[in-house]
Structure 1
Protein backbone atom coordinates (compact mmCIF):
# COMPACT_ATOMS: atom_id res chain seq x y z
CA UNK A 1 0.00 0.00 0.00
CA UNK A 2 1.20 3.53 -0.74
CA UNK A 3 -0.17 7.04 -1.06
CA UNK A 4 -0.94 7.61 -4.73
CA UNK A 5 -3.38 9.29 -7.12
CA UNK A 6 -6.60 7.42 -7.79
CA UNK A 7 -10.02 8.15 -9.26
CA UNK A 8 -12.81 9.24 -6.90
CA UNK A 9 -16.56 9.42 -7.65
CA UNK A 10 -19.06 11.81 -6.08
CA UNK A 11 -22.13 9.60 -5.70
CA UNK A 12 -24.42 12.58 -5.13
CA UNK A 13 -23.50 13.96 -8.58
CA UNK A 14 -23.23 10.66 -10.48
CA UNK A 15 -26.39 9.78 -12.44
CA UNK A 16 -25.15 6.38 -13.62
CA UNK A 17 -25.07 7.31 -17.31
CA UNK A 18 -21.95 5.18 -17.95
CA UNK A 19 -20.13 7.71 -20.13
CA UNK A 20 -16.95 7.15 -18.09
CA UNK A 21 -16.89 3.35 -18.47
CA UNK A 22 -15.51 2.99 -22.02
CA UNK A 23 -12.92 5.75 -21.46
CA UNK A 24 -11.10 3.56 -18.93
CA UNK A 25 -8.81 1.29 -20.94
CA UNK A 26 -8.03 -0.69 -17.79
CA UNK A 27 -11.69 -1.58 -17.16
CA UNK A 28 -11.52 -0.17 -13.66
CA UNK A 29 -14.98 1.46 -13.77
CA UNK A 30 -18.38 -0.19 -13.79
CA UNK A 31 -21.92 0.98 -13.11
CA UNK A 32 -22.91 -0.79 -9.89
CA UNK A 33 -26.25 -0.14 -8.19
CA UNK A 34 -26.80 2.79 -10.55
CA UNK A 35 -23.52 4.57 -9.73
CA UNK A 36 -20.02 4.61 -11.24
CA UNK A 37 -17.58 2.79 -9.00
CA UNK A 38 -14.06 1.37 -9.10
CA UNK A 39 -14.07 -2.39 -9.58
CA UNK A 40 -10.67 -2.56 -7.91
CA UNK A 41 -8.11 0.03 -6.86
CA UNK A 42 -5.41 -2.09 -8.52
CA UNK A 43 -7.03 -1.53 -11.94
CA UNK A 44 -6.93 2.30 -11.70
CA UNK A 45 -3.73 3.96 -12.96
CA UNK A 46 -4.77 7.35 -11.54
CA UNK A 47 -4.15 9.19 -14.82
CA UNK A 48 -7.77 10.30 -15.08
CA UNK A 49 -8.65 9.51 -18.72
CA UNK A 50 -12.26 9.32 -17.52
CA UNK A 51 -12.37 12.88 -16.12
CA UNK A 52 -13.48 14.62 -19.29
CA UNK A 53 -16.20 12.06 -20.05
CA UNK A 54 -18.46 12.83 -17.09
CA UNK A 55 -21.34 15.21 -17.94
CA UNK A 56 -22.11 15.61 -14.22
CA UNK A 57 -18.54 16.52 -13.18
CA UNK A 58 -18.70 13.68 -10.65
CA UNK A 59 -15.13 12.39 -11.13
CA UNK A 60 -12.01 13.77 -9.47
CA UNK A 61 -8.52 12.53 -8.70
CA UNK A 62 -7.58 12.17 -5.05
CA UNK A 63 -4.44 11.09 -3.25
CA UNK A 64 -5.01 8.32 -0.73
CA UNK A 65 -3.61 5.04 0.46
CA UNK A 66 -4.22 2.37 -2.16
CA UNK A 67 -2.57 -0.74 -3.62
CA UNK A 68 -0.18 -0.13 -6.50
CA UNK A 69 -1.62 -0.12 -10.01
CA UNK A 70 -1.28 -3.63 -11.51
CA UNK A 71 -1.25 -3.28 -15.30
CA UNK A 72 -1.08 -7.02 -15.97
CA UNK A 73 -4.06 -7.74 -13.72
CA UNK A 74 -5.98 -4.88 -15.35
CA UNK A 75 -5.39 -6.23 -18.86
CA UNK A 76 -6.49 -9.70 -17.79
CA UNK A 77 -9.61 -8.15 -16.32
CA UNK A 78 -10.35 -6.34 -19.61
CA UNK A 79 -9.80 -9.50 -21.64
CA UNK A 80 -12.16 -11.48 -19.40
CA UNK A 81 -14.85 -8.79 -19.61
CA UNK A 82 -14.77 -8.87 -23.42
CA UNK A 83 -15.74 -12.53 -23.52
CA UNK A 84 -19.46 -12.81 -24.38
CA UNK A 85 -21.59 -14.44 -21.72
CA UNK A 86 -22.67 -17.96 -22.61
CA UNK A 87 -26.38 -18.67 -22.83
CA UNK A 88 -27.49 -22.31 -22.39
CA UNK A 89 -28.51 -23.66 -25.80
CA UNK A 90 -31.58 -25.38 -24.40
CA UNK A 91 -32.91 -22.26 -22.69
CA UNK A 92 -36.32 -21.32 -24.23
CA UNK A 93 -35.57 -17.62 -23.68
CA UNK A 94 -32.64 -17.89 -26.11
CA UNK A 95 -34.35 -19.91 -28.86
CA UNK A 96 -34.27 -17.92 -32.10
CA UNK A 97 -37.65 -17.22 -33.69
CA UNK A 98 -38.70 -15.02 -36.59
CA UNK A 99 -42.38 -14.27 -37.11
CA UNK A 100 -42.20 -13.02 -40.69
CA UNK A 101 -44.25 -10.02 -41.75
CA UNK A 102 -45.63 -7.73 -39.06
CA UNK A 103 -49.24 -8.04 -38.11
CA UNK A 104 -51.36 -5.00 -39.01
CA UNK A 105 -50.95 -2.21 -36.45
CA UNK A 106 -53.86 -1.78 -34.06
CA UNK A 107 -56.51 0.82 -34.76
CA UNK A 108 -57.62 1.63 -31.24
CA UNK A 109 -60.29 -1.05 -31.10
CA UNK A 110 -59.40 -3.54 -28.37
CA UNK A 111 -60.44 -6.53 -30.47
CA UNK A 112 -58.31 -5.47 -33.46
CA UNK A 113 -55.03 -4.90 -31.61
CA UNK A 114 -52.09 -6.88 -32.96
CA UNK A 115 -48.48 -7.40 -31.98
CA UNK A 116 -45.88 -6.03 -34.39
CA UNK A 117 -43.07 -8.05 -32.83
CA UNK A 118 -41.07 -9.85 -35.54
CA UNK A 119 -38.34 -11.63 -33.56
CA UNK A 120 -37.45 -13.52 -30.41
CA UNK A 121 -35.48 -13.12 -28.20
CA UNK A 122 -35.42 -9.35 -27.84
CA UNK A 123 -33.03 -8.78 -24.91
CA UNK A 124 -29.65 -7.70 -26.30
CA UNK A 125 -27.81 -10.13 -24.02
CA UNK A 126 -29.73 -13.09 -25.46
CA UNK A 127 -29.58 -12.23 -29.18
CA UNK A 128 -26.57 -13.80 -30.94
CA UNK A 129 -24.87 -11.70 -33.65
CA UNK A 130 -25.50 -14.46 -36.20
CA UNK A 131 -29.31 -14.45 -35.69
CA UNK A 132 -30.84 -14.58 -39.20
CA UNK A 133 -33.39 -11.87 -38.43
CA UNK A 134 -30.56 -9.35 -37.85
CA UNK A 135 -29.14 -9.60 -41.36
CA UNK A 136 -29.54 -6.24 -43.16
CA UNK A 137 -32.38 -5.44 -40.76
CA UNK A 138 -33.76 -2.15 -39.55
CA UNK A 139 -32.99 -2.50 -35.85
CA UNK A 140 -34.98 -0.78 -33.10
CA UNK A 141 -32.76 -0.53 -30.00
CA UNK A 142 -35.19 0.42 -27.25
CA UNK A 143 -34.64 1.21 -23.60
CA UNK A 144 -36.51 -1.23 -21.36
CA UNK A 145 -38.86 1.48 -20.04
CA UNK A 146 -40.07 2.87 -23.37
CA UNK A 147 -42.88 0.35 -24.10
CA UNK A 148 -44.35 1.09 -20.67
CA UNK A 149 -44.22 4.86 -21.09
CA UNK A 150 -45.33 5.08 -24.73
CA UNK A 151 -48.82 3.60 -25.23
CA UNK A 152 -48.61 3.07 -29.01
CA UNK A 153 -45.15 1.49 -29.06
CA UNK A 154 -46.11 -1.31 -31.47
CA UNK A 155 -48.02 0.88 -33.87
CA UNK A 156 -45.62 3.81 -34.07
CA UNK A 157 -42.17 2.27 -33.68
CA UNK A 158 -42.03 -1.53 -33.94
CA UNK A 159 -43.69 -2.40 -37.23
CA UNK A 160 -41.15 -3.66 -39.78
CA UNK A 161 -38.22 -3.57 -37.35
CA UNK A 162 -36.15 -6.07 -35.41
CA UNK A 163 -36.39 -5.26 -31.71
CA UNK A 164 -33.48 -5.26 -29.26
CA UNK A 165 -33.97 -4.00 -25.71
CA UNK A 166 -31.41 -2.95 -23.10
CA UNK A 167 -31.04 -0.84 -19.98
CA UNK A 168 -27.90 1.34 -20.04
CA UNK A 169 -28.17 2.07 -16.32
CA UNK A 170 -28.73 -1.35 -14.76
CA UNK A 171 -26.87 -3.58 -17.23
CA UNK A 172 -23.11 -3.85 -17.84
CA UNK A 173 -21.83 -1.62 -20.66
CA UNK A 174 -18.83 -3.64 -21.89
CA UNK A 175 -20.70 -6.87 -22.79
CA UNK A 176 -23.31 -4.77 -24.60
CA UNK A 177 -20.60 -2.93 -26.53
CA UNK A 178 -18.96 -6.20 -27.52
CA UNK A 179 -22.30 -7.65 -28.64
CA UNK A 180 -23.38 -4.57 -30.61
CA UNK A 181 -20.03 -4.35 -32.42
CA UNK A 182 -20.36 -8.02 -33.37
CA UNK A 183 -23.88 -7.46 -34.66
CA UNK A 184 -22.66 -4.59 -36.84
CA UNK A 185 -19.81 -6.67 -38.24
CA UNK A 186 -21.74 -9.88 -38.85
CA UNK A 187 -25.26 -8.69 -39.67
CA UNK A 188 -24.47 -5.28 -41.21
CA UNK A 189 -27.94 -3.89 -40.44
CA UNK A 190 -29.50 -1.30 -42.73
CA UNK A 191 -30.29 1.09 -39.89
CA UNK A 192 -30.46 1.45 -36.11
CA UNK A 193 -33.17 3.50 -34.43
CA UNK A 194 -32.35 4.30 -30.80
CA UNK A 195 -35.53 4.69 -28.78
CA UNK A 196 -34.66 6.10 -25.36
CA UNK A 197 -36.28 7.81 -22.43
CA UNK A 198 -35.62 11.46 -21.54
CA UNK A 199 -33.70 10.57 -18.37
CA UNK A 200 -29.92 11.24 -18.62
CA UNK A 201 -28.83 7.65 -18.01
CA UNK A 202 -30.65 6.59 -21.18
CA UNK A 203 -28.02 8.48 -23.15
CA UNK A 204 -25.92 5.38 -22.56
CA UNK A 205 -27.78 3.70 -25.44
CA UNK A 206 -26.66 6.40 -27.85
CA UNK A 207 -23.13 6.18 -26.50
CA UNK A 208 -23.27 2.40 -26.91
CA UNK A 209 -24.18 2.60 -30.59
CA UNK A 210 -21.60 5.30 -31.34
CA UNK A 211 -18.86 3.27 -29.66
CA UNK A 212 -19.94 0.08 -31.45
CA UNK A 213 -19.87 1.84 -34.83
CA UNK A 214 -16.40 3.16 -34.08
CA UNK A 215 -15.17 -0.22 -32.83
CA UNK A 216 -16.63 -2.22 -35.72
CA UNK A 217 -15.75 0.21 -38.49
CA UNK A 218 -19.19 -0.46 -40.05
CA UNK A 219 -21.18 2.49 -41.33
CA UNK A 220 -24.89 2.41 -40.54
CA UNK A 221 -27.72 4.92 -40.56
CA UNK A 222 -28.50 5.88 -36.95
CA UNK A 223 -31.58 7.73 -35.70
CA UNK A 224 -32.39 8.72 -32.11
CA UNK A 225 -35.89 9.25 -30.69
CA UNK A 226 -36.42 10.51 -27.15
CA UNK A 227 -39.63 9.71 -25.27
CA UNK A 228 -40.78 11.60 -22.18
CA UNK A 229 -41.79 9.90 -18.97
CA UNK A 230 -45.40 10.96 -19.67
CA UNK A 231 -45.44 9.13 -23.00
CA UNK A 232 -44.80 11.82 -25.61
CA UNK A 233 -42.06 12.02 -28.24
CA UNK A 234 -39.82 14.89 -27.18
CA UNK A 235 -37.09 14.86 -29.83
CA UNK A 236 -35.92 13.11 -32.99
CA UNK A 237 -32.41 13.31 -34.42
Structure 2
Protein backbone atom coordinates (compact mmCIF):
# COMPACT_ATOMS: atom_id res chain seq x y z
CA UNK A 1 0.00 0.00 0.00
CA UNK A 2 1.36 3.38 -0.99
CA UNK A 3 1.28 6.55 1.07
CA UNK A 4 2.96 9.96 1.17
CA UNK A 5 5.90 9.47 3.53
CA UNK A 6 9.59 10.18 4.08
CA UNK A 7 12.00 8.01 2.11
CA UNK A 8 15.60 8.11 0.93
CA UNK A 9 16.48 9.66 -2.41
CA UNK A 10 19.83 8.84 -4.03
CA UNK A 11 21.52 11.27 -6.41
CA UNK A 12 23.37 8.90 -8.74
CA UNK A 13 25.27 11.77 -10.34
CA UNK A 14 26.91 12.53 -7.00
CA UNK A 15 27.23 8.92 -5.79
CA UNK A 16 30.74 7.49 -6.15
CA UNK A 17 29.83 4.00 -4.94
CA UNK A 18 31.87 4.24 -1.73
CA UNK A 19 29.46 1.94 0.13
CA UNK A 20 29.35 3.92 3.38
CA UNK A 21 25.55 4.09 3.21
CA UNK A 22 25.33 0.31 2.81
CA UNK A 23 27.22 -0.16 6.06
CA UNK A 24 25.06 2.42 7.85
CA UNK A 25 21.67 1.01 6.80
CA UNK A 26 20.69 -1.64 9.35
CA UNK A 27 17.60 -2.55 7.30
CA UNK A 28 19.64 -3.49 4.22
CA UNK A 29 17.65 -1.09 2.05
CA UNK A 30 20.67 0.08 0.03
CA UNK A 31 23.08 -1.92 -2.09
CA UNK A 32 25.89 -1.02 -4.48
CA UNK A 33 24.80 -2.03 -7.99
CA UNK A 34 26.90 -1.23 -11.05
CA UNK A 35 29.05 1.09 -8.96
CA UNK A 36 26.16 3.17 -7.59
CA UNK A 37 24.05 3.07 -4.43
CA UNK A 38 20.54 1.82 -5.15
CA UNK A 39 17.40 1.52 -3.04
CA UNK A 40 16.66 -2.21 -3.03
CA UNK A 41 13.00 -1.81 -2.10
CA UNK A 42 10.86 1.01 -0.76
CA UNK A 43 9.45 -1.25 1.96
CA UNK A 44 12.94 -1.68 3.47
CA UNK A 45 13.54 2.07 3.97
CA UNK A 46 12.26 3.47 7.28
CA UNK A 47 12.87 7.07 6.18
CA UNK A 48 14.86 7.94 9.31
CA UNK A 49 18.02 8.75 7.34
CA UNK A 50 20.69 6.94 9.37
CA UNK A 51 22.66 6.62 6.13
CA UNK A 52 22.73 10.34 5.27
CA UNK A 53 25.53 11.39 7.60
CA UNK A 54 27.80 8.67 6.21
CA UNK A 55 27.72 9.93 2.62
CA UNK A 56 30.86 11.96 1.75
CA UNK A 57 29.34 13.12 -1.55
CA UNK A 58 26.03 14.50 -0.21
CA UNK A 59 24.22 12.10 -2.53
CA UNK A 60 21.57 11.03 0.00
CA UNK A 61 18.53 13.04 1.02
CA UNK A 62 15.26 12.34 2.77
CA UNK A 63 12.27 13.50 0.76
CA UNK A 64 8.52 13.10 1.01
CA UNK A 65 6.81 11.31 -1.85
CA UNK A 66 4.35 8.55 -2.56
CA UNK A 67 5.99 5.24 -1.72
CA UNK A 68 5.26 1.80 -0.37
CA UNK A 69 4.93 1.88 3.40
CA UNK A 70 7.87 0.74 5.53
CA UNK A 71 7.39 -2.92 6.44
CA UNK A 72 9.43 -4.12 9.47
CA UNK A 73 8.34 -7.71 8.90
CA UNK A 74 9.56 -7.59 5.30
CA UNK A 75 12.88 -6.19 6.53
CA UNK A 76 13.23 -8.99 9.06
CA UNK A 77 12.49 -11.59 6.39
CA UNK A 78 14.94 -9.94 3.98
CA UNK A 79 17.76 -9.87 6.53
CA UNK A 80 17.02 -13.46 7.49
CA UNK A 81 17.22 -14.51 3.84
CA UNK A 82 20.61 -12.82 3.61
CA UNK A 83 21.71 -14.68 6.69
CA UNK A 84 20.61 -18.01 5.20
CA UNK A 85 22.21 -17.24 1.83
CA UNK A 86 25.58 -16.41 3.34
CA UNK A 87 25.46 -18.57 6.44
CA UNK A 88 26.33 -15.49 8.50
CA UNK A 89 24.76 -12.75 10.54
CA UNK A 90 23.06 -9.92 8.62
CA UNK A 91 25.33 -7.08 7.58
CA UNK A 92 25.44 -4.28 10.14
CA UNK A 93 27.49 -1.13 10.44
CA UNK A 94 31.14 -1.82 11.18
CA UNK A 95 33.07 0.94 12.94
CA UNK A 96 35.95 2.34 10.92
CA UNK A 97 39.45 2.37 12.37
CA UNK A 98 39.58 6.17 12.32
CA UNK A 99 38.37 9.22 10.45
CA UNK A 100 41.24 8.87 8.00
CA UNK A 101 40.17 8.81 4.32
CA UNK A 102 42.19 5.59 3.92
CA UNK A 103 39.48 3.73 5.85
CA UNK A 104 36.56 4.92 3.72
CA UNK A 105 35.00 2.13 1.67
CA UNK A 106 34.84 2.66 -2.09
CA UNK A 107 33.63 0.38 -4.86
CA UNK A 108 34.84 1.25 -8.35
CA UNK A 109 33.08 0.34 -11.56
CA UNK A 110 35.54 -1.61 -13.70
CA UNK A 111 34.99 -3.13 -17.16
CA UNK A 112 35.05 -6.90 -17.43
CA UNK A 113 37.78 -6.75 -20.08
CA UNK A 114 41.23 -7.80 -18.87
CA UNK A 115 43.43 -5.04 -17.53
CA UNK A 116 45.89 -5.79 -20.33
CA UNK A 117 43.42 -4.32 -22.84
CA UNK A 118 44.29 -0.76 -21.89
CA UNK A 119 45.03 2.11 -24.28
CA UNK A 120 48.44 1.72 -25.85
CA UNK A 121 51.19 2.98 -23.59
CA UNK A 122 49.03 2.99 -20.47
CA UNK A 123 48.34 0.05 -18.17
CA UNK A 124 44.82 -0.05 -16.72
CA UNK A 125 44.20 -0.72 -13.06
CA UNK A 126 42.17 -3.82 -12.18
CA UNK A 127 41.49 -2.57 -8.65
CA UNK A 128 37.74 -2.57 -7.98
CA UNK A 129 37.54 -1.25 -4.42
CA UNK A 130 39.16 0.53 -1.49
CA UNK A 131 40.64 0.00 1.09
CA UNK A 132 42.97 -2.92 0.42
CA UNK A 133 45.07 -3.14 3.59
CA UNK A 134 43.98 -6.12 5.69
CA UNK A 135 43.81 -4.00 8.84
CA UNK A 136 41.56 -1.41 7.19
CA UNK A 137 39.00 -3.56 5.33
CA UNK A 138 35.74 -3.87 7.34
CA UNK A 139 34.49 -7.49 7.51
CA UNK A 140 31.11 -6.34 6.19
CA UNK A 141 32.45 -4.23 3.31
CA UNK A 142 30.01 -4.52 0.37
CA UNK A 143 32.72 -5.69 -2.02
CA UNK A 144 33.43 -8.85 0.01
CA UNK A 145 30.19 -10.78 -0.43
CA UNK A 146 30.27 -13.28 -3.32
CA UNK A 147 33.85 -12.23 -4.04
CA UNK A 148 36.87 -14.12 -5.27
CA UNK A 149 39.23 -13.00 -2.52
CA UNK A 150 42.90 -12.31 -3.20
CA UNK A 151 45.15 -12.22 -0.13
CA UNK A 152 48.62 -10.99 -1.05
CA UNK A 153 51.81 -10.02 0.70
CA UNK A 154 52.32 -6.31 0.22
CA UNK A 155 55.64 -6.94 -1.56
CA UNK A 156 54.02 -9.09 -4.25
CA UNK A 157 52.70 -6.25 -6.47
CA UNK A 158 56.22 -4.78 -6.49
CA UNK A 159 57.96 -8.06 -7.33
CA UNK A 160 55.49 -9.47 -9.86
CA UNK A 161 55.12 -7.22 -12.93
CA UNK A 162 51.80 -8.65 -14.14
CA UNK A 163 50.05 -8.53 -10.77
CA UNK A 164 47.00 -6.63 -12.02
CA UNK A 165 46.47 -8.73 -15.14
CA UNK A 166 47.11 -12.17 -13.66
CA UNK A 167 45.96 -11.88 -10.06
CA UNK A 168 43.91 -8.76 -9.36
CA UNK A 169 41.57 -8.86 -12.36
CA UNK A 170 38.15 -10.08 -11.19
CA UNK A 171 39.22 -10.44 -7.57
CA UNK A 172 38.80 -8.51 -4.33
CA UNK A 173 42.22 -7.75 -2.88
CA UNK A 174 43.48 -7.61 0.69
CA UNK A 175 47.19 -7.06 1.24
CA UNK A 176 49.42 -6.99 4.29
CA UNK A 177 52.64 -8.10 5.93
CA UNK A 178 52.49 -10.71 8.71
CA UNK A 179 56.00 -9.71 9.77
CA UNK A 180 55.10 -6.14 10.69
CA UNK A 181 51.44 -6.65 11.61
CA UNK A 182 49.85 -8.86 14.27
CA UNK A 183 49.11 -12.34 12.80
CA UNK A 184 46.51 -13.00 15.52
CA UNK A 185 44.60 -9.90 14.46
CA UNK A 186 44.80 -11.13 10.87
CA UNK A 187 43.30 -14.49 11.87
CA UNK A 188 40.46 -12.80 13.73
CA UNK A 189 39.80 -10.40 10.84
CA UNK A 190 39.66 -13.13 8.20
CA UNK A 191 37.57 -15.41 10.43
CA UNK A 192 34.96 -12.67 10.74
CA UNK A 193 35.08 -12.07 6.99
CA UNK A 194 34.53 -15.79 6.32
CA UNK A 195 31.62 -15.85 8.80
CA UNK A 196 29.89 -12.78 7.41
CA UNK A 197 30.33 -13.28 3.67
CA UNK A 198 29.84 -15.97 1.08
CA UNK A 199 33.16 -16.12 -0.78
CA UNK A 200 33.60 -17.90 -4.09
CA UNK A 201 37.30 -18.62 -3.61
CA UNK A 202 40.45 -17.46 -1.83
CA UNK A 203 43.83 -17.08 -3.52
CA UNK A 204 46.87 -16.46 -1.31
CA UNK A 205 49.87 -14.96 -3.12
CA UNK A 206 53.02 -14.70 -1.02
CA UNK A 207 56.70 -14.06 -1.52
CA UNK A 208 59.25 -16.86 -1.16
CA UNK A 209 60.70 -15.27 1.99
CA UNK A 210 59.83 -17.17 5.21
CA UNK A 211 57.90 -14.39 6.94
CA UNK A 212 55.49 -14.05 4.03
CA UNK A 213 54.64 -17.77 4.06
CA UNK A 214 52.67 -17.10 7.25
CA UNK A 215 49.86 -15.64 5.13
CA UNK A 216 48.65 -19.08 4.07
CA UNK A 217 48.67 -20.36 7.66
CA UNK A 218 46.72 -17.29 8.76
CA UNK A 219 44.02 -17.90 6.16
CA UNK A 220 43.83 -21.62 6.96
CA UNK A 221 43.50 -20.93 10.70
CA UNK A 222 40.83 -18.33 10.02
CA UNK A 223 38.85 -20.83 7.93
CA UNK A 224 39.11 -23.37 10.74
CA UNK A 225 37.96 -20.80 13.29
CA UNK A 226 35.01 -19.79 11.12
CA UNK A 227 34.30 -23.42 10.13
CA UNK A 228 34.35 -22.26 6.53
CA UNK A 229 35.05 -24.45 3.52
CA UNK A 230 36.15 -22.24 0.63
CA UNK A 231 38.24 -23.24 -2.42
CA UNK A 232 41.79 -22.18 -1.57
CA UNK A 233 44.81 -21.69 -3.83
CA UNK A 234 48.39 -20.77 -2.93
CA UNK A 235 50.86 -19.01 -5.24
CA UNK A 236 54.48 -18.35 -4.26
CA UNK A 237 56.44 -15.61 -6.06
CA UNK A 238 60.23 -15.29 -6.05
CA UNK A 239 62.08 -12.09 -5.25
CA UNK A 240 62.98 -11.99 -8.96
CA UNK A 241 59.33 -11.93 -9.94
CA UNK A 242 58.83 -15.54 -11.04
CA UNK A 243 56.10 -17.94 -9.93
CA UNK A 244 57.80 -20.71 -7.98
CA UNK A 245 54.74 -22.69 -6.96
CA UNK A 246 51.02 -22.77 -7.60
CA UNK A 247 48.84 -25.34 -5.85
CA UNK A 248 45.36 -26.04 -4.59
CA UNK A 249 45.12 -26.29 -0.82
CA UNK A 250 42.56 -28.57 0.79
CA UNK A 251 39.82 -26.40 2.30
TM range (shorter): 0.5 to 0.7
| 3-state DSSP of counterpart to 2:151 | strand
1:197 to 184, 207, 217: 207
For residue 148 of structure 2, the aligned residue among 138, 148, 173 is 138
Structure 1's unaligned 5+ residue stretches are 1-83
Equivalent residues of 2:118, 2:124 under 8 A apart: no
For residue 148 of structure 1, give the secondary structure of its aligned residue in structure 2. Answer: helix
- Among 90, 101, 109, the alignment partner of 2:110 is 101
CA distance in 2, matches of 1:86, 1:116: 25
| Match of residue 232, structure 2, among 197, 216, 222 | 222
Q: Which residue is 1:114 aligned to?
A: 124
1:87 maps to which residue? 97
In structure 2, the residue corresponding to 1:140 is in which secondary structure? strand
- Give 1:107 deviation, angstroms: 5.3
**Alpha-carbon distance in structure 2 between the residues aligned to 1:204 and 1:113:** 31
User: 1:177: Cα distance to partner?
Assistant: 0.7
CA drift of 1:164 comes to: 0.2
Structure 2: 5+ residue stretches without partners: 1-93
Moved >2 Å (runs of 4+): 100-104, 106-112
* TM-score of the two chains, using structure 1 as the length reference: 0.61
Q: CA RMSD in A?
A: 1.9
In structure 2, which of residues 208, 220, 244 is the aligned counterpart of residue 210 of structure 1?
Answer: 220
1:101·1:160 contact (CA, 8 Å) conserved in 2? no
Higher RCO (CA < 8 A, seq sep 6+):
1
Q: CA deviation at 1:101?
A: 2.9
Aligned to 1:236: 246
Aligned length: 153
The match for 2:181 among 159, 171, 175 is 171
**1:151-198 CA distance string (max 9 Å, x none):** 111111100000100111111111111100000000121111000001
TM-score (norm 2): 0.58
Given the superposition, is the C-alpha separation of residues 109 and 149 from structure 1 closer, same or farther in structure 2, using an over 3 Å criterion? farther
